[in-house]
Amino acid sequence: MSAESIETSLSSDSGRRPGSRRTGRYHILSVLVENKAGVLARVAGLFSRRGFNIASLAVAPTDDDERFSRITIVVDVESAPLEQVVRQLDKLINVVSISELAPSEAIERELLLATVSVGPEERSQVIQLIGVFGGEVVGVGSDQLSVTLSGRPEKIDDFEDLLKGYEVVGLQRTGRVALEKLGYRPARSLRALEGESR
């Protein structure tokens, strides 16, 4: 079974997930901020005091200019209209620019780390599974196994669902990061091919 077909078979489930792009409920904002103390508190505080919900949030310095960091926020637009979220964010003095990344125009990636309790039989199953998904085994103990997988958030969703068949000791996801697709042209024909870059 290929990773692609696993995804297809699970796609109806994962639509409910916070990280999923299969519903219109979640939007990705890529927010360029000044790399200053307290910036994350300002952004997070704004979301909490205005009652906006965050599905995930990832922060890291940009590599082109040490003055700036990029915060990738997946926003639940059921809690507030996206326009209001963007305009309130834009009022923060340390926020330099905000772009909304439509899923079809963005490359998105997320990373998962998981440790599962496994007996001898299950161990080979999990090793096979992570292999099918293109992830890695990063630790093996007598009755436990740690794996890592990176990729599109939907792929991570699907893998996480499959892992639930085992005893998961610990699981951590990073939340997604995203960038605009290279040379993206908003033409209809290209949109029809969405997913080809997987």
Partner 1 sequence: MQLTGAQALIKSLEQERVEVVFGLPGGAILPVYDPIIDSSIRHVLVRHEQGAGHMAEGYAIVTGRPGVAMVTSGPGATNIVTPLSNAFMDSTPLVVVSGQVATRSIGTDAFQECDITGVTIGITKHNWLVKDPADIPRTVAAAFHVATTGRPGPVLIDLPKDVANATMEWYWPESVEDLDLPGYNPVMGADPSLIEKAVELIDSAKRPVIYAGGGILKARACEALLALAERTQIPVVTTLMARGAFPDSHPLCLGMPGMHGNYTAVTAMQRSDLLIALGSRFDDRVTGKIDAFAPEARVVHVDIDAAELGKVRKPDVGVVGDCRVVIEEMLSCIDANAPKRSGAPVDLGPWWDELHGYQKRFPLYYDRDTTGPIKPEMVVESLRDLSPRDTVVVSGVGQHQMWASQYWTFDHPYTWVNSGGAGTMGFAVPAAVGAKVGRPDRTVWAIDGDGCFQMTAQELVTATAEGIPIKVAILNNAYLGMVRQWQEMFYEERYSEVYLSPDLPDYVKWAEAMGCVGLRAETQDEVIPVIEKANSIDDRPVVVDFRTDAFEKVYPMVPAGVSNDAIVVHPDQEGATR
Q: What does the angle CA 77 – CA 172 – CA 56 come to, to the nearest 5 degrees? A: 15
Number of residues that bind partner 1 (CB under 8 A): 23
What minimum distance in Å lies between the beta carbon of 186 and partner 1? Answer: 23
How deeply is 157 buried, as exposed, middle or buried, from its count of CB atoms within 10 A (0-12, 13-18, 19+)? buried
97 lies in the binding site for partner 1 (CB under 8 A): yes
Nearest to 157, CA basis, from 31, 58, 23, 1:
23
Does 88 engage in binding with partner 1 (CB under 8 A)?
Answer: yes
Which residues are registered as beta bridge partners of 27? 75
Alpha helices in 59-176 (DSSP H): 82-91, 120-133, 153-163
- Closest to partner 1 by CB, 34 vs 136, is 34
- If binding is defined by CB under 8 A, does position 92 make contact with partner 1? yes
Contact between 62 and partner 1 (CB under 8 A)? no
The phi, psi pair for 163, rounded to 5°, reads -65, -25
Tokens of 171: 């699981």
From 85-93, 129-137, 178-186, 188-196, span contacting partner 1 (CB under 8 A): 85-93
Is 185 a binder of partner 1 (CB under 8 A)?
no
- Please give the Cα distance from 160 to 110 (Å, whole number): 12
Is 191 near partner 1 (CB under 8 A)? no
94 lies in the binding site for partner 1 (CB under 8 A): yes
**Residue that the structure tokens 């780390």 belong to:** 113
Please identify, using beta-carbon distances, which residue of 93 and 187 lies nearer to partner 1.
93
Please give the single-letter amino acid code of residue 43. V
- In the complex with partner 1, the residue whose CB is nearer, 45 or 165, is 45
Quick check: 38 binds partner 1 (CB under 8 A)?
Answer: yes
Among 6, 95, 116, 118, binds partner 1 (CB under 8 A): 95
* Three-state DSSP class for residue 133: helix
Task: Report the residue from 24, 63, 93, 182 that binds partner 1 according to the rule CB under 8 A.
Answer: 93
By CB under 8 A, is residue 183 in contact with partner 1? no
